[in-house]
Structure 1
Amino acid sequence: MRRSRSGGARPGAPAVPTVALAAGLAALVAVPAAAPAAPPTAIRVGGPSAPGEAKVALVGTNARRAGRRFTVVDRRGRTVLRGRLTAATGSPSPWRRVLRADLSPVTRPGAYRVRAAGRTSRAWTVRSRASSVPIRTILRFFSANADGREPSPVHGPAHLQDAVVADGPLAGQRVDLTGGWMDAGDTLKVTHTTAYATAALLAAARLDPADATALRAAAEVGVRWLVKAHPAPGVFIAQVGDARDHDLGFRDPAADDASPAPGIGVRVAYPGIGGDLGGKVALALALAAETRPAGPERDALVTAARDWYDAGKAAGRTMPQLPDPAGDFYVGDTQDDALAAGAAALHRVTGDPALLQDAVTHLAAFEPDGRLSWNALAGLAAADLCGRLGAPAAGDAAARDAGCGALVAQGRAAIARAGRSAFATPGAVGWGQTGENGGAGTLATLAGRAGLARGLAVGAGARDWLLGRNPWGASFVAGLGPSAPRALHHWASLRGPGLPVGAVVGGPASRDEILRQGFGAPRPSPFSTAAATYEDRVEDYVTSEPALDYAASSVLLLAALQAR
């Protein structure tokens, strides 16, 4: 579990069982890590790609090979494309050089391999509805992390006694907060990430009609819980469970109800509100209301969304850190972005012109940074006003223009960041890189649909980076793609390697950030550097823990690429 983007050192998710962790650390102490060897020449490809998308293979090498030939062969070994390698821009690390092979002319569905520099790549696939299989796979993670009596393929009913309210008007009272999703590799439920994931899934359903039914069904788990998280006037629940739950270690969630441990058998619910939390829950519930026909259910969702929005706006600040023993997870540092997104979505379902003005005002206060995450929602507000989030633009021309201008500015920032590396991830490298990649890739894609040159290509590159076109040649989605994660920092890993299927792990981070967590030096790899290190190791919760927001941002990227 992570803190905000401005939070400095971030705490890890629940500890691995003591015996396993001690054994792993002992092994690290007993065998000094060898210096990684120079990386061998390798071809990295991504996909699956749609026929009309930009497609690029990357060749990492220490030799001068620009201008050399490459070929693409089909499943039968027949050559379907010849071309010449060109130098990629941006840092080639960990190689001395990275070369591009433009595969975009290959548009016929099928499986292909790239031959260059004496190497042959793994198979790379072109197919229509290219995003559907990755989306359906990642949705399996949401099912696995479903709590309460929500169906899960990896655990039985769990946390059926959630929860006793910590303070405020309902202090000491038991309130029904069963259901929802567990946040990451542990079992806490966090309203920040539940709201963001719910909103991202519903926005993805808008963009991608082919997968809309599955996306909306997954989102309903979040919707049902968010409705419960406002149990009485003036009471808004920010988190269920706390540091005691978080630190207890991997265990079967279904066993928690029988635990005599304080804060485990009966968990604590912590109230809290700020503009950041109120805005993003309003966004999620307003998007949910939009999917309902006129009637009591729609009205109830709109009322709940308005309650969260009004309370958040009235708070006039981000939500304060929760009191001990809640922990310091997900401490936000901005509220204008979330209030803009919530106001835009509420305006769409209410028609209230004051909300439209709120959306424009709050959006103008947020400096475009090319980020979209649980703690950076301005891009969704901009895309919605601009009409690039799967629904028509705002009826007011000035609001539409403000949205489109902000969206293009966000896309430019994401594209600029992608240009820093030859592997072209638009996400800032750090803890939660896959979430940053998915969010920034979404902004580039949506801005591309608004006319920004290179936006669609950068978005496709973000998808390819996630699924294998990165220095490690590894997918960061369990159960999907090459060298997919097998040792996830998640309680389901106790049931076997590679679980839960569909989980999006954190991905690479700096070596220093990993070392600061105190669980030993990362395993050496010829493809890792001090600035970007990745390992598939249970103990390393920086690189191997999955989370709702990583998965949600990745799904939103995939849906944006598949949008009509």
Structure 2
Amino acid sequence: MSDKKRFNTVFLSLVLVVAFSLVALVVHKEEPAVIRINLLGYRPDSPKIAVWGSMSDQPVTRFQLIDEQTNQEIQNLSVGLAFGEYGPFKQTYRLDFSVFRKSGHYHLQTDDGTRSPSFRIGEDVYSGKADFCLRYMRQQRSGYNPFLKDSCHTHDGYTMYGPMPDSTHINVSGGWHDATDYLQYVTTSANATYHLLAALRDFPTAFGDTHQANGLDGANGQPDVLDEAHWGLDWLLKMHPTDDWLFNQLADDRDHVGFRLPKEDAFYGKGFERPVYFATGKPQGLFKYKNRATGVASTAGKVSSALALGYQMIRKSQPTYANKLWQRSQSAYKLGLEKPGNSQTAPGRAPYFYEEDNYTDDMELATIEQLNATGATGVQATKWQNTALEFARREPITPWILNDTARHYQWYPFVNVGHVELAKRLLTRNRKTVTDFYKSGIDIIWKRARQNAFYRGVPFIWCSNNLTTSFATQCFWYRQLTGDKQFTALEQANFDWLFGCNPWGTSFVYGLPANADTPIDPHSSFTILNNYPIDGGLVDGPVRGSIYGNLLGITLHEADEYAPFQSKVAVYHDDYGDFSTNEPTMDGTASLIYLLAAKHTEKLTPVRRTGGQQKGKQPVKKLTRVTSIDPKSTYFSGAKIRGDTTVRRLALVFTGDEFADGGSTITRTLRKHNVRASFFLTGRFLRNPTVALLVKQLNQDGHFLGPHSDQHLLYCDWTNRDSLLVSHKQFVDDLRANYAALARFSTLKNTKKVFLPPYEWYNDSIAVWTKAEGIQLINYTPGLLSHADYTTPQERNYRSSATILQSIRTYEQRKQAGLNGFILLMHIGTASSRTDKLYNHLDELLTELHQKAYQLVRVDEL
């Protein structure tokens, strides 16, 4: 970064700090109390708890459950006992409405007027969420990256510390990048692979098939989660290529040179190759700092377990490949027995590394997976079980539970998976011994948790969200193994914490749920450099205030919108400068995929399949994907989202419903540049007499006029896209009414019938219904921020015109196809509170596009 750019960045940050601090103070004053809920929603038969927190010690006594559709009070309940201070709050209560089970959309409010965000109750509130998080896993792929449609790190790598001469080339390209950096660790990759495979084994109905093995769109006959696990298995085989060769790590912290998209890195001294560290079981570190490795078993056990489970999952469908997995699983297990101890990652130029200090949990799981893979019975099975039980007794409770602090990844994984798999194989007394190990750990957390309204007992150390996910999974496994439900509320509280029932009121998963408070400025090169969404990524999570205060290198780049909710107890920032709390991790996301799959599957009401239709109910129809008739265009869920990428042309699209303040400016600018654009207008807009002359002028100038829903309906749920909010009849009647309003201005003769859905939000059913009307559904091309021109400075997702224009320029410069085929969406008008109008920059934008030789066409011609 140049000195000038650094100065400008610092100056802008200071200005933003002052401006947003004033906003934060206003928010603090206007919101003396808040209600925190699970933004994903609640299943009807699950515990349903929200937390009320106040900046004063003023109590409340009752709260109400309000129907969002009718605004009617459904229940009036007591808040129960006061929990007192916690974090930023001086008083807290748990609002328990578990007795209510009816599906629908609701919000809570207390008798002091505090209102919660809206939420949903329904059997399917968690459906599809595990698949959503797989998006982040695909984005983390090394080798071929399907998100970027490009390859990176294809020259990996050169060996260090191995039995071969240092700098020997070995092909280990592939796997997943660990986090925002592009280091790759066998320990986290093996754990992630195991969790993905276990999720498919335990909850097969939680996953769909919409992607190919390479991660690109298109079904391939097997669940996407298996495609992703396969990617991990392939890399583990490369890192354990022979019986006695096991590598532990690819690259080191020389990677931390700055933000960049994954590419061929050339700063390790040997071209584009990166160092591959052999698992020696002894301290390593090429420079000043060394780790404290004592053995190989912690890595070998994880590798053996993942490969053994992979063998079990695909031995029938891919026998040759599965046999290779089994062979390497056995050799890794042997290495673990021969070299007990902990294999830590190697530091580079900084004293930071994964300081794993336990291994018996890994060998416990590896042992039981050897038994599961062989299918042994009788004496041999007993021998395997006794070996696994011996390992289990050496670490009954995962050590982080016993401590309130830990070094980075000191005890990993954060849940002992071996206990659940061993317990499944044991009977009577020994089974209870193992399940009691889980119970003892849960009891320890419960003693801490029951003291506060959030039931928070997991320590606020680095990667606290990973620990929270793992602990919720441990509670789930204990309940499943024993039927003991005494910790159900604690289990739910840890799950709720991840999705908004926390002091900050935010979900910690990027983009989940949609249209809610989730990270928007994570410590991720994808978002920082290109505004690419990192859908499904679980960020590290809050840390203790004292930990944050002692960290070096953290600088917030924007004002802290959560400032009123920071405390000595815990700190969280949605700011890319905070790598301690807001960096997504691959292995944490994989663990969350398992938990979400469990939540998706648990006690779902089955769909009754009969030969006829039940009285009073519509038959359940399987959604079908609309296939494109134009092979040069790009489609998503039946909607065309991009035209031919080989031709240098694009379509400029404007939508209008409530506002039209940009109409005259847009019309004049388009006429100046001789550009024909496309306008999708609601019936409400078209019937507004104040815009009649504008619409007539647009039609006379040759612009395309299309429908945008008569009443600007919301077709499907923001948090569950497959959940329709309109019937087929409502949809058709509304769309036809929109066309009737359009007919006053345009006959639409000799043009394709094209429809852009309201809110740009739809699902496969909407696409099918649109096609049945003889109309093509379209949507804007993702990747730019132009559609955010409606946001206002008061909103967290506000994007200035300068930011939006820069996103267009950056995308155009860095993508091989540029803006070819783009459907670029803006709004014909915005709220008066947004004074920075993007349409005032339209002349500038069109000038740049013409200079770059783009042809702008109507969307029906694209």
TM-score by length of 1: 0.87
**Which amino acid in the other structure matches residue 150 of structure 2?**
G
Structure 1 residue corresponding to 2:49, chosen from 56, 59, 62: 56
Residue of structure 1 equivalent to 2:569: 531
Residue of structure 2 equivalent to 1:176: 171
Residue of structure 2 equivalent to 1:252: 261
Structure 2 residue corresponding to 1:551, chosen from 589, 594, 598: 589
Residue of structure 2 equivalent to 1:232: 242
- Determine whether 1:415 maps to 2:446: yes
Structure 1 residue corresponding to 2:523, chosen from 489, 494, 501: 489
Name the CA distance, whole Å, in 2 between partners of 1:242 and 1:160. Answer: 17
Please state how far the C-alpha of 1:19 moved relative to its aligned partner. Answer: 8.1
Structure 2 residue corresponding to 1:195, chosen from 187, 190, 199: 190
Change in CA separation of 1:395 and 1:511 when aligned onto 2, cut-off 3 Å: closer
Residues 363-390 of structure 1 deviation map (CA, whole Å, 9 limit, x = unaligned): 111141486987046631111122xxxx
Please state how far the C-alpha of 1:229 moved relative to its aligned partner. Answer: 0.9
**Which amino acid in the other structure matches residue 391 of structure 2?**
H
CA contact (8 A) 1:379 1:406 kept: no
CA contact (8 A) 2:155 2:272 kept: yes
Structure 2 residue corresponding to 1:152, chosen from 140, 146, 151: 146
**Which amino acid in the other structure matches residue 465 of structure 1?**
W
Please state how far the C-alpha of 1:25 moved relative to its aligned partner. Answer: 5.8
Residues 233-276 of structure 1 deviation map (CA, whole Å, 9 limit, x = unaligned): 3211111111212x22111213x25x466267211111115221
Residue of structure 2 equivalent to 1:380: 417
Please state how far the C-alpha of 1:532 moved relative to its aligned partner. Answer: 0.4
Change in CA separation of 1:112 and 1:376 when aligned onto 2, cut-off 3 Å: same
Name the CA distance, whole Å, in 2 between partners of 1:34 and 1:223. Answer: 48
Name the CA distance, whole Å, in 2 between partners of 1:507 and 1:20. Answer: 30
Structure 1 residue corresponding to 2:510, chosen from 478, 489, 494: 478
Name the CA distance, whole Å, in 1 between partners of 2:4 and 2:42. Answer: 43
Name the CA distance, whole Å, in 2 between partners of 1:160 and 1:299. Answer: 26
Tell me how large the CA RMSD over aligned residues is: 2.9
Change in CA separation of 1:433 and 1:511 when aligned onto 2, cut-off 3 Å: same
Name the CA distance, whole Å, in 2 between partners of 1:19 and 1:188. Answer: 31
Name the CA distance, whole Å, in 1 between partners of 2:41 and 2:429. Answer: 39
Residues 200-240 of structure 1 deviation map (CA, whole Å, 9 limit, x = unaligned): 12222233222243332322211111111112332111111
Matches within 5 A, 1:81-160: 81-87=75-81, 89=83, 92-116=86-110, 117-149=112-144, 151-154=145-148, 156-160=150-154
Give 3-state SS (helix, strand or coil) of 1:304's partner. Answer: helix
Residues 28-81 of structure 1 deviation map (CA, whole Å, 9 limit, x = unaligned): 789799798667201111032222111111111224434324233243323332
**Which amino acid in the other structure matches residue 453 of structure 2?**
A
Name the CA distance, whole Å, in 2 between partners of 1:439 and 1:401. Answer: 21
Structure 2 residue corresponding to 1:446, chosen from 471, 477, 495: 477
Give 3-state SS (helix, strand or coil) of 2:323's partner. Answer: helix
Structure 1 residue corresponding to 2:536, chosen from 502, 507, 511: 502
- Determine whether 1:431 maps to 2:425: no
CA contact (8 A) 1:426 1:441 kept: no
Structure 1 residue corresponding to 2:273, chosen from 262, 266, 277: 266
CA contact (8 A) 1:158 1:253 kept: yes
Residue of structure 2 equivalent to 1:403: 434
Give 3-state SS (helix, strand or coil) of 2:589's partner. Answer: helix
Residue of structure 1 equivalent to 2:766: none
Residue of structure 2 equivalent to 1:359: 388
- Determine whether 1:77 maps to 2:71: yes
Change in CA separation of 1:133 and 1:307 when aligned onto 2, cut-off 3 Å: same
Give 3-state SS (helix, strand or coil) of 2:232's partner. Answer: helix
- Determine whether 1:284 maps to 2:306: yes
**Which amino acid in the other structure matches residue 289 of structure 1?**
Y
Residues 330-359 of structure 1 deviation map (CA, whole Å, 9 limit, x = unaligned): 120111111111112221112353332221
Name the CA distance, whole Å, in 2 between partners of 1:155 and 1:325. Answer: 32
Bigger mean CA deviation after superposition, 179-188 or 68-77: 68-77
Name the CA distance, whole Å, in 2 between partners of 1:544 and 1:58. Answer: 23
Residue of structure 2 equivalent to 1:223: 233
Please state how far the C-alpha of 1:492 moved relative to its aligned partner. Answer: 0.8
Residue of structure 2 equivalent to 1:314: 338
Name the CA distance, whole Å, in 2 between partners of 1:17 and 1:266. Answer: 28
CA contact (8 A) 2:57 2:91 kept: yes
Change in CA separation of 1:174 and 1:90 when aligned onto 2, cut-off 3 Å: farther
Residues 526-562 of structure 1 deviation map (CA, whole Å, 9 limit, x = unaligned): 1110220111111110011111222123222223334
Residue of structure 2 equivalent to 1:8: none
Name the CA distance, whole Å, in 2 between partners of 1:301 and 1:530. Answer: 48
Aligned length, in residue pairs: 539
Please state how far the C-alpha of 1:183 moved relative to its aligned partner. Answer: 0.3
Change in CA separation of 1:214 and 1:453 when aligned onto 2, cut-off 3 Å: same
- Determine whether 1:41 maps to 2:33: yes
**Which amino acid in the other structure matches residue 357 of structure 1?**
N
Bigger mean CA deviation after superposition, 114-123 or 516-525: 516-525
CA contact (8 A) 1:287 1:345 kept: yes
Please state how far the C-alpha of 1:508 moved relative to its aligned partner. Answer: 1.0
Residue of structure 2 equivalent to 1:335: 359
**Which amino acid in the other structure matches residue 384 of structure 1?**
E
**Which amino acid in the other structure matches residue 270 of structure 1?**
Y
Change in CA separation of 1:488 and 1:237 when aligned onto 2, cut-off 3 Å: same
Give 3-state SS (helix, strand or coil) of 2:416's partner. Answer: helix
Residue of structure 2 equivalent to 1:3: none
Residue of structure 2 equivalent to 1:541: 579
Name the CA distance, whole Å, in 1 between partners of 2:84 and 2:238. Answer: 47
Please state how far the C-alpha of 1:362 moved relative to its aligned partner. Answer: 0.6
Change in CA separation of 1:327 and 1:299 when aligned onto 2, cut-off 3 Å: farther
CA contact (8 A) 2:196 2:229 kept: yes
Select the structure of larger CA radius of gyration.
Answer: 2
Change in CA separation of 1:409 and 1:491 when aligned onto 2, cut-off 3 Å: same
Give 3-state SS (helix, strand or coil) of 1:165's partner. Answer: strand
Name the CA distance, whole Å, in 2 between partners of 1:527 and 1:435. Answer: 21
Bigger mean CA deviation after superposition, 201-210 or 83-92: 83-92
CA contact (8 A) 2:554 2:579 kept: no
Please state how far the C-alpha of 1:412 moved relative to its aligned partner. Answer: 2.7
Name the CA distance, whole Å, in 1 between partners of 2:84 and 2:421. Answer: 32
TM-score by length of 2: 0.58
Change in CA separation of 1:399 and 1:308 when aligned onto 2, cut-off 3 Å: farther
**Which amino acid in the other structure matches residue 276 of structure 2?**
A
**Which amino acid in the other structure matches residue 268 of structure 1?**
P
Identity value in percent: 23
Gaps of 5+ in 2: 208-222, 282-295, 402-408, 603-862
